[in-house]
Amino acid sequence: MSKQPPISPAHPSQGYASLLTDIKQRVRQAQVRAMLSVNAELIRLYWGIGQMIHERQQQEGWGAGVIPRLARDLHNELPEEKGFSERNIKQMLAFYREYAQLSFVQQPAAQIEVKQKMPQAAALFTAELILALPWTHHAVLMAKVKDHATRSWYMQAALEHGWSRNILLMQIETAAHQRHGQAASNFALRLPKPESDLVQQTLKDPYLFDFLTLSDPFHERELETGLIAHLEKFLLELGQGFAFVGRQYHLDIGDQDFYIDLLFYHLKLRCYVVIELKRGDFKPEYAGKMSFYCSVVDDQLRHPSDQPTVGLILCQQPNRVLAEYALRGVEQPIGVSSYELTRALPQDLQTSLPSIEQIEAELQGLDEAAHPSSSSNI
């Protein structure tokens, strides 16, 4: 019986290449499961430590002074272990008190027992949500987001988009939960559900381009150039799934040349996204031009398996009522959003800052004190 010839490493068969791909995928899946399992156990541990401290404080009448002592003794007893600083132990206690309605038990990851103390919180914070997030994310959320419904939104968004701690913090500081899904659009009229809802939630209003330094009056081409120069930050603000296709993308139609400001492809929506940048207020004629661009992209670029092209008009001051009327008679799915180049200071901070006149008067007073006139020395 003849033996099969060995597979040549230089010319592997198609079956071998498939085997190699499958093994790599299995290894990566196992690595992800291992990381999730380790994270879940860490969350259980910290919640459990917080529970023990809380219950002992209740039983023994201990105050907050027990935590610094506990941090010192744990460091002495377990010098090789990290994560038991005074600050982190305080966060463990706060973590337990925030989610005291959840009783984590030693079962496979993402299995929890829910008590009946806080049904509203229990409904918002599921097992998968609590155990899947890294501890650093929980620390940020407890410190920055007090409303439970809002915190739940950020938890889900962080998992869905893979936000790091710093990105999560930035999204909180820019009130991402208030901006998502707020664009004026005709998606509900032009797209079937649930696609219309998915596209709506993908867009924001306003978009924050505070990484740009443009002074009025600026030209739209300057805005476009600035966004491309900071493409990574621009993509981060657009959100997960946007892939850059081109700037001033050329369209040849009827022996005439047309240029799209910015063209993207959205990997999750499976569609092209045409973005037009406008300075100043929204005008109804912008909708007609965008409809034209979307139709051409559908005809010339769209693959049969792609979803309809989506248009996004970015203006400084979009009149929402005007935009909704303008989009109502347009067949293509189009959204209208605003953008901000800088964030305004909070009102309470504005009033607490000195004016330029006050600063100049103060400096003048200091100068006179340091260099008194000759008449004052008589």
pLDDT score of 209: 92
Let me know if residue 159 belongs to a domain.
yes
Given a cut of 50, whether residue 116 has pLDDT beyond it is no
Do 250 and 146 fall into the same domain?
Answer: no
State the first-to-last Cα distance of the chain, in angstroms, to the nearest integer. Answer: 123
Given a cut of 50, whether residue 115 has pLDDT beyond it is no
Cα–Cα distance, 145 to 124 (Å, whole number): 14
Given a cut of 60, whether residue 345 has pLDDT beyond it is no
* Phi, psi (degrees; rounded to nearest 5) at 23: -65, -45
290 pLDDT band (50/70/90 cuts)? very high
Given a cut of 50, whether residue 375 has pLDDT beyond it is no
Let me know if residue 53 belongs to a domain.
yes
Quote the strand ranges of 64-210, DSSP E. Answer: 102-104, 112-114, 184-185, 207-208
pLDDT score of 4: 54
Half-sphere exposure of 199 (CA within 13 A, CB side): 30
Rounded mean pLDDT of 3-14? 55
Cβ atoms 221, 194 nearer than 8 A: no
pLDDT score of 111: 42
pLDDT > 70 fraction of the chain, expressed in percent and rounded: 79
Cβ atoms 323, 184 nearer than 8 A: yes
Rounded mean pLDDT of 167-183? 91
Cβ atoms 297, 272 nearer than 8 A: yes
**CATH code for the domain of 307:** 3.40.1350.10
Domain membership of residue 62 as a residue range: 34-173
Let me know if residue 241 belongs to a domain.
yes
Do 197 and 313 fall into the same domain?
Answer: yes
Cα–Cα distance, 245 to 10 (Å, whole number): 36
pLDDT score of 154: 94
Other beta carbons within 10 Å of 305: 6
Other beta carbons within 10 Å of 293: 24
**What is the per-residue pLDDT across 206-241, written as a single tens digit (0 to 9) for each?**
999 988 888 778 889 999 999 999 999 999 999 989
Domain count, the chain: 2
Q: What is the pTM of this model?
A: 0.68
Do 97 and 115 fall into the same domain?
Answer: yes
Do 206 and 325 fall into the same domain?
Answer: yes
pLDDT score of 60: 82
pLDDT > 90 fraction of the chain, expressed in percent and rounded: 48
Of 103, 138, 173, the position where a domain reaches its end is: 173
Let me know if residue 375 belongs to a domain.
no
Cβ atoms 154, 125 nearer than 8 A: no
Let me know if residue 349 belongs to a domain.
no
Cα–Cα distance, 11 to 198 (Å, whole number): 45
Pull the structure tokens for residue 100. Answer: 């005291």
pLDDT score of 118: 42
Given a cut of 60, whether residue 35 has pLDDT beyond it is yes
